[in-house]
Structure 1
Amino acid sequence: MLTTLAVANYRSINSLVMPLARLNLITGPNGSGKSNLYRALRLLAETAQGGVINALAREGGLNSTFWAGPQNISRRMRNGEVEIQGGPRTEVKRLRLGFAGEDFSYAISLGLPAPPGAPTAFSLDPEIKRECIWAGPLYRPASLLVDRKGPMVRAREGREWDVLAQKLPTFDSLFDQVGSLRSSPEVLRLRESIRGWRFYDHFRSDTEAPARQPQLGTRTPVLHHDGRDLAAALQTIREIGDPEALDAAIADAFPGARLEINAAAGGHFAIEFYQQGLLRPLSAAELSDGTLRYLLLIAALLTPRPPTMMVLNEPETSLHPDLLPALARLIIRASRECQVWVVSHASRLIAALEQDTSCNCIVLEKTLGQTEMVGQGMLDQPAWHWPD
């Protein structure tokens, strides 16, 4: 489980260090930075997938993601005594992302390359300047296990350092080189942990949505991020997961309803949704957007193979407010099996999640263009130190 998330110099986030728990609720008014925090978390996930550079390119390049305000906002600026103004930078520009875990922690620093000696068309490609893995939640030189500076990677070997690579491409993460790095079990373990994170924010419910079409079914313990294998995922829960929880989740949201999966049509799985008062079941193509999305969320949250972390971005989209308490109960149940993030501004869902005593509610606000946690003073931040 992650215990701390740290982000610096990313869009509206100049510097943010957040405490994390099993169930994390991120909320705040529109424009407060919820989406930027979510995107920063996705960038961290891309490091283990080998796609962080391409992900930054899709955002318009590294330079466009840098915090656009002054390096430091003084007390007089905050009080309105002087206008917002920048001064000479005392630090080089770096996008920094990191997290502290119960076993291992990680940080990455990205910057623009130095002017090249030879002509190149890739002069604006971001470079990974520093990557570190250390033991425990707090960075100290003594706890450092793997250290990457530019192209050189070294790992601790007892009291000494073993150089694992000297010419690592600056656009490749440590996690891209697991097979070629010697004696790096920490890199492998952390990479697999990050690769286990799941993000659900692109469920389609339009008339052409894949979830509405019968699909050739195979055992599906993990729902695809766009929900294309919904029927197979629900049947997998019924066979090797928790069928009682599945039936209870449907009854909780739709009293008197039940769900069946028809797998008789040549191996193509189709949803049959029975409701009181109807003489025949409804197919996925006939379901309302809200009902289909709720079934997708059930399949994601009741997965027989819980991830290390699950992130739901605005799961209330298309749902009737009356469904939100039932969704909250599903989310709370899932948080017993894995760490869960929920990004939401639906008051009814927020109120239902906050009834759980373990819910870590983080309210964001924007002050002078900078995303901050409501009520977090300097002494309230978790202990965190960026590697030099």
Structure 2
Amino acid sequence: MRLTSLSANGYRSLRSIRLDIGSLALFVGENGVGKSNLYRAMQLIKASAQGTLSYEIAREGGMQSALWTGKRRSGPVRMVFTAEFDDDDTAIRSGYSVETGLAPSYQVEVGLRPPAAAGFAFEPQIKEETLSIDSGRRPVEMMSRKGPAVFARDDSGRRVEHPVKLLDSETGLAILGRSGRYPEIGDLRTTLLGWRFYHGFRTDRDSPVRRPTLAITAPMLDEDGGNLAAVFATLVHIRQDTVDLDRCIAEALAGATLEVPVPGETATFGLRLPEFPQRLFRPEELSDGQIRFLALAGALLSYRLPRLIALNEPETSLHPSMLPALADMISQAAERTQLWIVTHSRALADEISARTGVRAMTVVRQDGATSIEGLRLDGRLGHDD
């Protein structure tokens, strides 16, 4: 299941924006234009699948901080997030032909507690949710939620009311998706839980990426990078194919080589630098830029890639000479999975575009709202005739 478009309305600087998404979405812009809000909107879609949407909004300051602060139209004050997908697997299971253009669409609306209702004053409350599938003939509603009541289609296709009323802080996607009774909802939830967001690896001395890890096969990198040593050990000793990894490390780190001992109870790694060939530098000795690049390599070149990888300003702490190698890794990963890249480095964006042919979308701020240069109302780049 691949993301094809994302919409966000009423969230921070995202007054109203819709983006069509391909295999690689590349955003570049200055600080303060709202690039991270686009990235964060993606995270909140995943949080809906996790059941932590209200918590995540509360953690970033609550509704009074997360709501669009510009001029509003009359009516309920809401944040609305919408994600659309294509899904051949669901088409086959549902009996629709793939040629019909089957397109799951999920939307969630978040608002404030009414004055006379129970709940905390600034607690984000889930107001409405829908999940529909467009078979090319007509949209089929798979889930509909207003307030605590939610209706969905079970595994026989019948529209039934879920027996448990939802709390205002709970999402139907999470509750129904893990119940086992609603296959299409469960499929979408599984897809979203498979997304990985890498928005800045810690590089302090106690950082998870610097520590040894339990010697457990690790096909992909955790979001905090805490299993980096196991990811490298899996590539070296199980996959036994590190050609791309070795080349990118050597290119970025002036000929350095990665060494990964055969794991015992734990896995670890080190770098051997050309100027000190007799010494292996352990993770805790590496510079911030070196360890961050290695973490990005673990994210982008792991044995198995997640369904979607989102990187927020991956160039942070990297020397400019490392950017071509980073672009190489991003280009290779784009052949295996869907990527969402947010950067303020035009140099990195140009390197990625040169390798992939994907045009970078320039993020700007207009009248307080985040927008994309040349973005039409239908979410496509270009200029209206």
TM bucket (normalised to shorter chain) is 0.7 to 0.9
5+ long unaligned stretches in structure 1 = 72-88, 383-388
> How far does the alpha carbon of each residue in 1:157-190 deviate from its partner, in whole angstroms, 9 at most, with x for none?
7896322346222221113323775741111000
The amino acid of 1:91's aligned partner reads G
Aligned residue for 1:106?
106
| Aligned partner of residue 316 in structure 1, secondary structure | coil
CA contact (8 A) 2:307 2:338 kept: yes
Counterpart-to-counterpart distance in 2, 1:13 and 1:380:
14
CA contact (8 A) 1:240 1:304 kept: no
| Aligned partner of residue 184 in structure 2, secondary structure | helix
Of 170, 185, 188 in structure 2, the residue corresponding to residue 187 of structure 1 is: 185
Q: Are residues 175 and 282 of structure 1, via their aligned partners in 2, closer, same or farther at CA, if it must alter by over 3 Å?
A: same
Aligned residue for 1:330?
329
Cα distance, 1:379 vs structure 2:
5.4
Counterpart-to-counterpart distance in 1, 2:185 and 2:246:
40
Q: Are residues 91 and 156 of structure 1, via their aligned partners in 2, closer, same or farther at CA, if it must alter by over 3 Å?
A: same
Counterpart-to-counterpart distance in 1, 2:180 and 2:214:
42
The amino acid of 2:71's aligned partner reads P
Aligned residue for 2:344?
345
| Aligned partner of residue 205 in structure 2, secondary structure | coil
Q: Residues 75-224 of structure 1 correspond to what in structure 2 (within 5 A)?
A: 89-103=73-87, 104-116=104-116, 120=118, 122-136=120-134, 142-156=139-153, 161-165=159-163, 167-178=165-176, 183-224=181-222
CA contact (8 A) 1:109 1:128 kept: yes
The amino acid of 1:92's aligned partner reads P
Counterpart-to-counterpart distance in 1, 2:302 and 2:178:
33
| Aligned partner of residue 222 in structure 1, secondary structure | coil
Q: Are residues 277 and 179 of structure 1, via their aligned partners in 2, closer, same or farther at CA, if it must alter by over 3 Å?
A: closer
The amino acid of 2:287's aligned partner reads S
Aligned residue for 1:49?
50
Counterpart-to-counterpart distance in 2, 1:180 and 1:45:
14
5+ long unaligned stretches in structure 2 = 88-103
| Aligned partner of residue 22 in structure 2, secondary structure | coil
Cα distance, 1:381 vs structure 2:
4.5
Q: TM-score, normalised by structure 1?
A: 0.86
> How far does the alpha carbon of each residue in 1:264-322 deviate from its partner, in whole angstroms, 9 at most, with x for none?
6x523332212223222211122221111111111111122211110111111111101
Matched, 1:375 2:374: yes
> How far does the alpha carbon of each residue in 1:343-375 deviate from its partner, in whole angstroms, 9 at most, with x for none?
101122111011134525221111111111111
Cα distance, 1:337 vs structure 2:
1.1
CA contact (8 A) 2:144 2:151 kept: yes
Matched, 1:252 2:251: yes
Cα distance, 1:141 vs structure 2:
7.0
| Aligned partner of residue 143 in structure 1, secondary structure | strand
CA contact (8 A) 2:236 2:260 kept: no
Q: TM-score, normalised by structure 2?
A: 0.86
> How far does the alpha carbon of each residue in 1:195-234 deviate from its partner, in whole angstroms, 9 at most, with x for none?
0010112312223323333344322222222223222211
| Aligned partner of residue 162 in structure 2, secondary structure | strand
Q: Are residues 180 and 250 of structure 1, via their aligned partners in 2, closer, same or farther at CA, if it must alter by over 3 Å?
A: closer
The amino acid of 1:42's aligned partner reads Q
Cα distance, 1:249 vs structure 2:
2.1
Indicate the larger mover: 50-59 or 179-188.
179-188
Indicate the larger mover: 287-296 or 252-261.
252-261
Counterpart-to-counterpart distance in 2, 1:287 and 1:166:
52
Q: CA RMSD in A?
A: 2.4
Aligned residue for 1:32?
33
Identity %: 37
CA contact (8 A) 1:25 1:362 kept: yes
Q: Are residues 267 and 153 of structure 1, via their aligned partners in 2, closer, same or farther at CA, if it must alter by over 3 Å?
A: same
Counterpart-to-counterpart distance in 1, 2:286 and 2:153:
56
| Aligned partner of residue 190 in structure 1, secondary structure | helix
Q: Are residues 150 and 182 of structure 1, via their aligned partners in 2, closer, same or farther at CA, if it must alter by over 3 Å?
A: farther
Aligned residue for 1:78?
none
Q: Are residues 182 and 195 of structure 1, via their aligned partners in 2, closer, same or farther at CA, if it must alter by over 3 Å?
A: closer
Counterpart-to-counterpart distance in 2, 1:233 and 1:69:
45
Aligned residue for 1:8?
9
Aligned residue for 1:237?
235
CA contact (8 A) 1:154 1:165 kept: no
Aligned residues: 361
Indicate the larger mover: 312-321 or 273-282.
273-282
Q: Are residues 218 and 252 of structure 1, via their aligned partners in 2, closer, same or farther at CA, if it must alter by over 3 Å?
A: same
CA contact (8 A) 2:130 2:145 kept: yes
| Aligned partner of residue 262 in structure 1, secondary structure | coil
CA contact (8 A) 1:174 1:187 kept: no
Q: Are residues 224 and 181 of structure 1, via their aligned partners in 2, closer, same or farther at CA, if it must alter by over 3 Å?
A: closer
